[in-house]
């Protein structure tokens, strides 16, 4: 059964007709117009990172591989939602598929730090309770989004980091792997290229070199590769989650926006659920995910309008990236100010869209 949202527009003509309370004016004052808009029972949207993803740099095989993995991932969440499962469950399990794929910068295939390690960040948020969980800088937890959910549900904290987070993950019975599990040659190659460029620039930091921190050898261009998901379930509950390896060549325990609630992830049943991807430092400063929710909440903007304003703010600061989001009425938005963003949506009719480049 579809849920129907009634929009009742009461035409208040009383003030205008204050001096002439004719029966016609009275009748008009009481007249109502009812619009019914179908609200989808559930909806799900995902991203696999935004960046300089250009068709000319992609092979047909690589493009097909990304599309297939995006579809595999979103179908997992779709099935959960279709069968009445929670948006939290859909977000976690959908992200697991992308974490387990070396195509994305999350879980297996995460980018390398300057010390040639992989340090993973993740977060998840429940729009019903505003409860949230996050982990930063872990090296042994196979699926960081599962750790984020465990932090949310099984601890009294919101964010755990490093060794402590790993001990907690073990205590929770999560799958622990040797750090070498995350290693992929492709990402190591990216690190080497970045370091070579850095050496030539003698440590000079400019915009170009900052972009090079995201250099991806496979698609011969800069890109980000975080994964994320936002979903609305049949009970009207929203959830969002984000998982990443962060940025190539990061050091000093750098943490990006992905595990920061309000930046990388936010969900509120009253507004929307958002997952971000992009240049983390700017997404933290712009408080992207919460800002989108706040614009809907306080200003009554649509999800689309809110997302645009906030991404423009990121651009004004000098950063770039994108978001995927779903609002409480099931409207889905994928917006980005980069050349492309891996993304997919599914609605309650089972309709699937997949995108990579700008449309
Ligand atoms: N936002 C992530 C970070 O800065 C990177 C990404 O989205 O790929 O850590």
Inform me whether the pLDDT recorded for 23 exceeds 50: no
Encoded tokens for 261: 């609630």
Residue nearest to atom 4 of ligand 1 (CA): 280
Q: State in Å, rounded, how far the first CA of the chain is from the last one.
A: 33
Q: Which atom of ligand 1 is nearest to the CA of 281?
A: 4
Q: How far is the CA of 81 from the centre of ligand 1 (A)?
A: 27
Cα three-residue angle 89-283-58, rounded to 5 degrees = 75
Q: Which atom of ligand 1 is nearest to the CA of 226?
A: 8
Write phi, then psi, for 163 (nearest 5 degrees). Answer: -55, -45
Evaluate: CB of 246 within 6 angstroms of ligand 1: yes
Nearest to 338 by CA among 265, 277, 266: 277
Range 173-179 average pLDDT: 98
pLDDT in tens, 316-354: 999 999 999 999 999 999 999 988 999 999 999 999 999
Helices 60-82 and 87-99 pack at an angle, to 10 degrees, of 160
Residue 58: the pLDDT is 81
Name the 3-class secondary structure at 342.
Answer: strand
Query: What's the pLDDT at 15?
Result: 35
pLDDT at 210 over 60: no
Q: Is the CB of 278 under 6 A from ligand 1?
A: yes
Atom 7 in ligand 1: residue holding the nearest Cα: 277
pLDDT in tens, 232-286: 999 999 999 999 999 999 999 999 999 999 999 999 999 999 999 999 999 999 9
Residue-averaged pLDDT of the chain: 87
pLDDT at 32: 39
Looking at the domain that runs over 43-187+216-357, which CATH code has it been given? 3.60.20.30
DSSP 246-261: --TTB-TT---STTSB
β-partners of residue 294 are none
CA–CA distance, 213 with 283 (Å, rounded to integer): 16
User: Which are the catalytic amino acids?
Assistant: 226
Please tell me the distance between residue 279's alpha carbon and the centre of ligand 1 in angstroms.
5
Q: With 50 as the cut, is the pLDDT of residue 290 above it?
A: yes
Ligand 1 mean position, distance from CA 82 (Å) = 30
| Distance, CA of 240 to CA of 127 (rounded, Å) | 8
Q: What is the pLDDT of residue 225?
A: 83
- Beta strands 43-51; 120-126: pairing state: unpaired
Ligand 1 binding pocket includes 49 (Cβ within 6 Å): yes
Q: What residue ranges do the domains of the chain occupy?
A: 43-187+216-357
Predicted pLDDT at 52: 74
Does residue 182 register a pLDDT over 90? Answer: yes
Over pLDDT 70: what percentage of the chain? 83
265: enclosing H helix or E strand: strand 265-267
Distance 336 CA to ligand 1 centre (A): 13
256 Cβ below 6 A of ligand 1: yes
Tens digits of residue pLDDT in 45-57: 999 998 877 777 7
Residue 126: predicted pLDDT: 98
Residues 6+ apart with CB under 8 A from 197: 209, 212, 215
Q: Kindly give, in sequence order, each residue whose CB lies less than 8 Å from that of residue 139, ignoring residues fewer than 6 positions away.
A: 117, 118, 119, 120, 166, 179, 182
């Amino acid at each position: 059964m579809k849920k129907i949202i009634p929009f009742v527009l009461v035409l208040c003509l009383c003030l205008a007709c204050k001096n002439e309370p004719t029966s016609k004016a009275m009748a008009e004052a009481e007249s109502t117009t009812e619009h019914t808009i179908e609200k989808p029972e559930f909806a799900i949207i995902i991203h696999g990172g935004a960046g300089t993803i250009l068709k000319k740099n992609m092979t047909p095989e690589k493009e097909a591989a990304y599309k297939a993995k995006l579809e595999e991932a979103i179908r997992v969440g779709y099935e959960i939602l279709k069968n009445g499962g929670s948006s939290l469950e859909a977000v976690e399990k959908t992200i697991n598929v992308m974490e387990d794929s070396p195509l994305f910068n999350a879980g297996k295939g995460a980018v390398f730090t300057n010390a040639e390690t992989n340090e993973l960040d993740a977060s998840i948020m429940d729009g019903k309770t505003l409860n949230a969980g996050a982990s930063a800088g872990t090296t042994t937890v196979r699926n960081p989004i599962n750790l984020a959910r465990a932090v949310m549900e099984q601890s009294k904290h919101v964010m755990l980091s490093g060794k402590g987070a790993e001990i907690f993950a073990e205590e929770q019975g999560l799958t622990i792997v040797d750090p070498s599990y995350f290693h992929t040659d492709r990402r190591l190659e990216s690190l080497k290229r970045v370091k070579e460029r850095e050496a030539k620039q003698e440590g000079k930091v400019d915009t170009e070199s900052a972009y090079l921190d995201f250099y991806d050898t496979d698609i011969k261009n800069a890109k980000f590769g975080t994964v994320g998901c936002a979903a609305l379930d049949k009970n009207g509950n929203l959830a969002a989650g984000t998982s990443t390896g962060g940025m190539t060549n990061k050091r000093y325990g750098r943490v990006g926006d992905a595990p920061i609630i309000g930046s990388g992830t936010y969900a509120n049943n009253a507004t929307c659920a958002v997952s971000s991807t992009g240049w983390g430092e700017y997404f933290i400063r712009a408080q992207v995910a919460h800002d989108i929710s706040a614009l809907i909440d306080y200003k009554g903007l649509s999800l689309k309008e809110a997302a645009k304003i906030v991404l423009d703010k990121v651009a004004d600061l000098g950063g770039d990236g994108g978001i995927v989001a779903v609002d409480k009425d099931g409207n889905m938005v994928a917006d980005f100010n980069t050349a492309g963003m891996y993304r997919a949506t599914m609605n309650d009719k089972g309709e699937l869209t997949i995108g990579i480049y700008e449309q």
